[in-house]
Amino acid sequence: MTQRENMLRVIRFERPDYIPIVFAVNASVFSHYDPRAVEELLESHPIIAGKDRMRWDLVPKEGDKVDEDVVYYDEFGVEWKGAIDGIRGVIQKHPLEDFSKIRDYKFPGIPDFNLEADRKNVAAAKNGGHFTAASLPHGHTFLRLTDLCGFENVLMGMADEDEDLLYLIHELEEYNAAFTDHWAKVGFDMISYPEDLGMQIGPMISPALFRKFIKPSYQRLMKPARDAGAVIHMHSDGDIRTLADDLIDGGVDILNIQDLVNGIDWIREKFFGKYALDLDVDRQKVTVFGTPAEVDALVREEVEKLSSPAGGLMMIYGWYAGTPLDNVKALMDAFEKYMYYWD
């Protein structure tokens, strides 16, 4: 069974061979651990880490400055300040904090898409057994608004139904649609819409404001992909329990949500056997402060409670600096062991 066939079987609950695992390695890892230890972990777990994942180009050389404060601007004109290598940083200045500037704001340019070439590349990948996917940038709508205008300004503007903010929401949707409309025509297996909406407790935006100002954009952005037969994948970090029904109602096929902040038992009760899950494994509690045995037990619990021989579960973990290497190894070992749990 090819990787593409297995993924589609997971999503459709058609008895896949294994639980797909994504093991993401943040750039901070290569500058905050002994690089030989990192290389050993990656190379000793090829099923999980893949091949050639070690980034020696990111390992500091003698005299290099690590974790130096750097001020930079993103392509949307937002000013950032970052101190940890591999971590995006903190916004220093919002270009549209003054709503009177919104009407004159210019979005970044849209690439000159080559539909025929993209279709050929995607078709070739599918024929080679690869699952194909495209994705909007992380934080494409709500978070982009807060980046541009400021968090409090956005929420107050929504409460006031500010005309300039409504104009910006429309223009941002049009900008994002240029990408999603193209990808729908290309024929990707899956299109992703990643956006963090949750905090440690509850969402960053009330369900009422989400339904009124954000959900309609989501639905319109997802419709071309859904009409083209693509799988709709939605990522959100944080506690999104009060938004879950609206996300599903918006047309989402796969929810990529965090395990412990939402609760494993709640996730099972809400989604098990009904919607595919791309489970984001804990990066705050057990993997950071627990023991290797507790890490193994966490992965096993999640596999037992959130998957079945029919499928429906994928798992993803993001390795960041600060996680004990013994726990990282335990997690990788557990992934390799339990991804074939139902085999």
What is the side-by-side strand order in the sheet with 90-93?
A: 70-73, 79-82, 90-93
First to last CA, the chain: 13
Query: What pLDDT score does 145 carry?
Result: 99
Residue 81: inside a domain: no
DSSP state of 51: S
Q: Rounded to whole angstroms, what are the CA distances from 282 to 9, 79, 89, 316?
A: 25, 30, 21, 10
**CA nearest neighbour of 210 among 168, 154, 263:** 154
CA distance 193 to 203: 17
Residue 87: inside a domain: no
Query: What pLDDT score does 83 carry?
Result: 77
Which residues sit opposite 203 in a β-bridge?
Answer: 198
CA distance 140 to 153: 18
Count how many domains the chain has: 1
Query: What pLDDT score does 139 carry?
Result: 96
Distance of CA 82 to the CA centre of its chain: 21
Question: Is the distance from CB of 110 to CB of 175 less than 8 angstroms?
Answer: yes
Q: What is the mean pLDDT of each run of 10 residues along the chain (343 residues)?
A: 97 97 95 94 94 86 75 94 84 98 98 97 98 97 98 98 98 98 98 97 98 97 96 97 91 94 98 96 98 99 97 97 97 98 87
Query: What pLDDT score does 66 carry?
Result: 67
Question: Is the distance from CB of 96 to CB of 149 less than 8 angstroms?
Answer: yes
Residue 102: inside a domain: yes
Residue 289 has a CB neighbour count (10 Å cut-off) of: 11
Distance of CA 295 to the CA centre of its chain: 22
69, two tokens: 């404060």
Distance of CA 113 to the CA centre of its chain: 24
Question: Is the distance from CB of 18 to CB of 305 less than 8 angstroms?
Answer: no
Residue 142: inside a domain: yes
Backbone φ/ψ region at 105: left (φ over 0), alpha (ψ -120 to 50), beta:
beta
Q: Which domain holds residue 198?
A: 3-64+95-338
Show Cβ contacts of residue 336 under 8 Å, excluding neighbours closer than 6 positions.
45, 47, 48
- CATH classification of the domain holding 219: 3.20.20.210
Query: What pLDDT score does 84 carry?
Result: 80
Question: What pTM value is reported for the model?
Answer: 0.94
CA distance 11 to 182: 23
Strand ranges inside 240-342, DSSP E = 254-257, 276-280, 313-319
Strand ranges inside the chain, DSSP E = 21-25, 70-73, 79-82, 90-93, 133-135, 190-194, 231-236, 254-257, 276-280, 313-319
Residue 46: inside a domain: yes
Residue 76: inside a domain: no
Residue 71: inside a domain: no
Residue 89: inside a domain: no
